Amino acid sequence: MSKSETKEATIRQLYTELNKYCSSADYDKALKAANKIIGLDATEWKAAKCKLVCLIQNGKFEEAIKFIERGTSIPDTTFEKAYSEYRLNRAEDAFRTIQAVAPGGGGGADQWAGLAPNLKELLAQILYRLERFDECFELYRNIIKNTHDDYDDERRTNMSAVAANQCIVGSGGKQQSAAATNLPEDTYELTYNAACALAGRREYGEAERKLRTSEKMCRDSLEEDGASEEDIIDEITIIKVQLAYCLQMQGRVKEASALYADALRHKTNDAALTAVVSNNLVVINRDQNVFDSRKKMKVATSEQADQKLTSRQRKTIAFNNCLLAYFASPSECGLLASRLANAHPDLEFQSLLVRVSQLARDKKYREAVELLEAYAQRLPAGRTTELLQVRFAIVQLQLVAGNRKAAIETLESLGEARYQPGVVSALVTLHLGLDNKQAASEILKSAVEWYKRQKSATISDSDLSDMWRQAASFHLRGGEPETAAKSLEELLRTHPNDMKLLAQLVIAYAQFDPKRAQQASKRLPALETLTTVSEIDALEATNWMMIAKAVKRKPNQPAGGGRTTGDQSPGAGTPSAEQQQQAARKQKRKKRKGKLPKNYIIGVLPDPERWLPRYERTGYRKKRDRRVKEIIKGSQGTASGQADQFDMSKAYNQTKNSPATPGSGGVTQLEQNAAAAAATRQLPRKSQHKKKKGKH
């Protein structure tokens, strides 16, 4: 057998082994067999293709790219190279790889019309990673329209995820939103994505309902497939975290914290999910539990999580890290704020506010104001809203530093923005704080004149009404009725039926133009139309102006104890007919008879001691124990004659025979002595010689 025949036989045998290893998914042995084939014949492109697939299956994406770049005999390696770059988180490189072979032009979905189906699927994933959601949505819609196989459910799920992200970032037109809304919700993934879209539109209550439905569908579906409890919890954790976010945004922080804690306790392998949970718990903690928040923020800002998060999520976590440093590490706060401004230029103003807050905390107000002034000078002319925010921040710093005059100057330098109701109110308050009523009056006058000259569409009529109302009250109190009348006239143009305003205008006119006041007063309603007889009677019947003593006085007694007049008509001090009838009814009520004892005899007075306990009655004698001998009553060393005096039984007997009858109020001398003796016995005896504690 010649060498060529032997070589061919060896290659056929190696292909047989390669097929066996690939069928059994033993990619390590398959890779060795493919290398042997390529070593024998470098033109065997099928073996090279198998080697490339084995490298990708083993996760060796860098080796796969190097193998392609060295040059192979494979006809087309676009898909393998783009996929390897995508898995290495090099989405821009993967996009350029596919774009290089795209036959279409003009941009949009038509640009990718000539691509192979596998490249379209991969491109949709790449566009999603690049957060180009509008293009991704159009591409998925094109794929679903032109492809029908077993992966239709997965494509619809991905399309709903793209639509949810469009709602979150605020992109996508009405057509995309309508198409996303029409997607069925027959799986838990589709229901979950629909809930995320509702959360992106800030409809948190409806999103919560759908998330709970998705959780139940997920458990039922996985239990039917025979999944383990661990796998079910892994899948449900994502739904619960999104549910916790909706609860947190509704202010139900305790429920959200419990769900976040369960997610962290489960220790999921999803780095992005762990980062989101950690960040949201830091937000809940705020300036409390700073040590725990720093540990969670370290997890949220890890490199592993950073690769999985979207740019919006990374931006939010970076900003929260700056705020946490403001509370936990002041020295690190300025550095993190500078990094935030460099990494995310659209957050430059927010990072500047963090640095300014740190300086204000250290009472470096001048440096903080200088930073804001420098930033205001760099702002372009069109960003008026941000410029106003900078000026208001400067005013806040000046007020904290106690410099009211500088704050007034800053507010007055706002141009036409100083006529906004909030700014006018602040200026008036500051001038009054400096006891400069004239300046406050001038500000209100100029604001009223400015709004007369031009109508601002950015301010509602209610805001202007409040400002004019306050200006009129201020000028009326300050003795400037003419200026107050101008404000009230403007108010009446928008509120012609407000009688309170008209009454104030009459008061203002009366102080400088009585004729106009008289003319304006004719528009006021008559007094009879404002009140009715029933309202007057109810007002007179109320006793809210009367003192308690006057309320409780008798019906015929005049108020204040004065004499009544001959007028019998009911007046301010006379009760009405209805009140007199009620008083007569009360007087006619019969008193209830007292309750008599059981053995009551008519004509015999009851025992006055019938309610006393037996041992307190006069004739009670205590039974004595015969075994105890008679002892002398009284203190030791006293005379025998005094023992009778302190014998309580004899005292009771003498009381019974005394002239003072029970209940007459008289007290004999013997009773007084007995009471004194009883009181003496009740007092605790104090030892004459107290034993001293301690050493003798």
Q: What share of the chain has pLDDT > 90, as a percent?
A: 29
Q: 169 and 157 in contact (C-beta within 8 Å)?
A: no
Q: 30 and 53 in contact (C-beta within 8 Å)?
A: no
More confident site: 175 or 237:
237
Q: Mean pLDDT: which of 369-378, 528-537, 662-671 is highest?
A: 369-378
For all residues of the chain together, what is the average pLDDT? 78
More confident site: 338 or 112:
338
**What pLDDT does residue 297 have?**
92
**What pLDDT does residue 562 have?**
45
CATH 1.10.540.10 is the classification of domain 413-536: no
**What pLDDT does residue 80 have?**
92
Dist. CA 52–CA 38, nearest whole Å: 12
For residue 25, the one-letter residue type is A
Q: Which of 266, 369, 245, 261 is nearest to 316 (CA)?
A: 245
Dist. CA 264–CA 267, nearest whole Å: 5
CATH of domain 1-169: 1.25.40.10
Phi-psi region of 654 (alpha: psi -120 to 50; beta: other; left: phi over 0): alpha
How does pLDDT run across 556-602, given as a tens digit for each residue?
Answer: 444 444 444 444 444 444 556 666 676 666 666 656 666 766 777 77
Dist. CA 324–CA 318, nearest whole Å: 10
How does pLDDT run across 409-442, given as a tens digit for each residue?
Answer: 999 888 888 888 888 888 888 888 888 878 887 8
What is the token pair recorded at 589? 């009520």
pTM (2 decimals)? 0.64
How does pLDDT run across 123-155, given as a tens digit for each residue?
Answer: 999 999 999 998 999 999 888 888 888 888 888
Dist. CA 97–CA 78, nearest whole Å: 7
Q: 301 and 325 in contact (C-beta within 8 Å)?
A: no
Domain extents in the chain: 1-169, 413-536
Q: Calculate the CA 380 to chain-centre distance.
A: 35
Dihedral sign for Cα atoms in the order 555, 560, 561, 566: negative
User: Which pLDDT band, with edges at 50, 70 and 90, does 262 fall under?
Assistant: very high
User: Which pLDDT band, with edges at 50, 70 and 90, does 371 fall under?
Assistant: very high
Residue where the block lists tokens 């009230």: 488
User: Which pLDDT band, with edges at 50, 70 and 90, does 52 fall under?
Assistant: very high
Q: What is the mean pLDDT of residues 217-238?
A: 92
Given a cut of 50, is residue 667 above it in pLDDT?
A: no
Long-range contacts, 603-607 (Cβ 8 Å, 24+): none
**What pLDDT does residue 664 have?**
40
Q: 648 and 655 in contact (C-beta within 8 Å)?
A: no
**What pLDDT does residue 440 have?**
80
Instruction: Enumerate the H helices of 478-571 as residue ranges.
Output: 481-494, 499-512, 514-521, 527-530, 533-541, 548-551
